[in-house]
């Protein structure tokens, strides 16, 4: 890969008592995107934040907001998250009956459309709709909680998806989320990933450590 991977710190691992400060700190430390994990306690076993929090955070950063919707159904909330400031919106194929329609709606709203692969979701899910996909997110853990260990089985999926992207010759970002550390980051990049989500690996040590943590994830 010709450029370093995009680093998208997950605010799920940040200090929720001062989210605005945390978002400003990761931008100053060199982050590329702000990753926002949205969970509903139904599709995944946890509850996090909604559009109002995204809206409140938007003035604190000029970075793209990478919003991962772990909710079902997702369609009724796409517009709310876009209006709140989401630049990229990712959904799970399992979160609604018509993935293609949902992706088209995200793009119509002016955001980039992403598809999220759970560990058990097959790469072929998007084979016939690659033209509607702007980025792909591979979960290297089971979604719902941070701090889980990286699943090496997903490296083969990253490789397969990289092959599909190359075949299409489209600038689709291939993102990985779950158990990303400086060690596993290298494995993901070698398999074809172009973007990495990291929670604990970025926010560990407090704001003074963020720049070094991000640099380590980039391999430097």
37 is in an annotated binding site: yes
135 is in an annotated binding site: no
200 is in an annotated binding site: yes
Q: Which two tokens stand for residue 167?
A: 């075949």
SS (H, E, C) 92-147: CHHHCCCHHHHHHHHHHCCCEEEEEECCCCCHHHHCCCHHHCCEEEEECCCCCCCC
Set 32, 37, 66, 134: catalytic member: 37
40 is in an annotated binding site: no
163 is in an annotated binding site: no
Q: Which residues touch 114 (CB under 8 Å, ≥6 apart)?
A: 68, 88, 89, 90, 91, 133, 134, 135, 136, 137, 175
| Whether residue 52 lies in the annotated active site | no
110 is in an annotated binding site: no
Set 40, 87, 177, 212: catalytic member: 177
81 is in an annotated binding site: no
| Whether residue 177 lies in the annotated active site | yes
The residue with tokens 């772990």 is: 70
Handedness of CA 132, 135, 138, 139 (dihedral sign): negative
* 198 membership: H or E segment, kind and range: strand 195-198
61 is in an annotated binding site: no
219 is in an annotated binding site: no
Q: Which CA distances in Å does 133 have to 84, 168, 189?
A: 21, 11, 20
203 is in an annotated binding site: no
The residue with tokens 């934040």 is: 49
The residue with tokens 């010709």 is: 2
Q: Which two tokens stand for residue 28?
A: 């100053």
144 is in an annotated binding site: yes
177 is in an annotated binding site: yes
Residue numbers in the known binding site for a divalent metal cation are 35, 37, 68, 177
Residues identified as active-site: 37, 177
Residue numbers in the known binding site for substrate are 10, 68, 144-147, 177-179, 199-200
Residue numbers in the known binding site are 10, 35, 37, 68, 144-147, 177-179, 199-200
């Amino acid at each position: 890969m010709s450029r370093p991977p995009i680093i998208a710190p997950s605010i799920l691992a940040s200090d929720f008592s001062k989210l605005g400060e945390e978002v400003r700190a990761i931008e100053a430390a060199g982050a590329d995107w702000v990753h926002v994990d949205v969970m509903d306690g139904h599709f995944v076993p946890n509850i996090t934040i909604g559009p109002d929090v995204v809206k409140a955070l938007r003035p604190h950063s000029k970075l793209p907001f990478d919003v991962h919707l772990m909710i079902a159904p997702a369609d009724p909330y796409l517009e709310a998250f876009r209006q709140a400031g989401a630049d990229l919106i990712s959904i799970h194929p399992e979160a609604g009956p018509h993935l293609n329609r949902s992706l088209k709606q995200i793009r119509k709203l002016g955001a980039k459309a992403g598809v999220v692969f759970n560990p058990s979701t097959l790469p072929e899910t998007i084979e016939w709709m690659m033209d509607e996909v702007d980025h792909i997110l591979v979960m290297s853990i089971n979604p719902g909680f941070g701090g889980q260990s990286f699943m090496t089985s997903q490296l083969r999926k990253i490789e397969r998806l990289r092959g599909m992207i190359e075949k299409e010759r489209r600038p689709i970002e291939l993102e990985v989320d779950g158990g990303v550390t400086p060690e596993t980051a290298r494995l993901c990049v070698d398999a074809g990933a172009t973007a990495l989500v990291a929670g604990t690996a970025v926010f560990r040590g407090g704001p003074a450590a963020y720049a070094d943590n991000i640099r380590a994830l980039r391999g430097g």
